[in-house]
Structure 1
Amino acid sequence: MTGKVTGIQPYGAFVALDDDTQGLVHISEITYGFVKDVSEFLSVGQEVEVKVLEIDEAAEKISLSIRALQERPAATRKKDAPPRKSLQDRVDESDANGFNSLKDKLQDWIEQSGH
């Protein structure tokens, strides 16, 4: 569905779908990735393709998304980065000061508190 940006706010952009209907594209629905400033991506008067996410008839609000019509970017990873270790590998590698000693520390704390 095509709409026209009618207003920009720090939290998103208002888009007119026709003469009587307007919805909001929340800042999180503009594009994949982090959007700090809506006006870096959209401008008043710009025509945009949007998808209707939700219609709240009671509140007379329409939630729109531009991002939903975009292809999700593939997860990027540095070629030289070592593979991440699983949680179990990290727990197994813990030393006496790490995660594995929590049970012992908890017992010490209980004894120190006098219970």
Structure 2
Amino acid sequence: MTWNTHRIHFDPDYAAHEGYPDVLVQSHLHGAFLVTLCTEWMGAGGRLTRLGVSVRRYAVPGDVLVCAGEVTGVEQVEEGHGLVHLNLTETRESDNTVCALATATIALPL
């Protein structure tokens, strides 16, 4: 629960009044999808150490959102772990609109 009571998230008529086609997905959900991408990719041995998310466009119920990532760097560090740096995107499938961008760092066992 995000305690976000803005009516654009639950009242379709109000969202339309604000110029949106439907109620909007809350920004926190965009971030949660990108976190899930990281945690599923890294597996049980990994640890998400840093995440920065920027929501760029809205999404509405029924939109298919696709999350993807690209490794941008790898560092070997002490304590038996390496760091993997990622750029992440969440796009709306219907028109390839970027809804959210993120950067992440994941610690993985060597």
Both structures adopt the same fold (TM-score exceeding 0.5): no
Structure with higher strand content: 2
* Greater relative contact order (CA < 8 Å, ≥ 6 in sequence): 2
Rg larger in structure: 1
TM-score by length of 2: 0.22
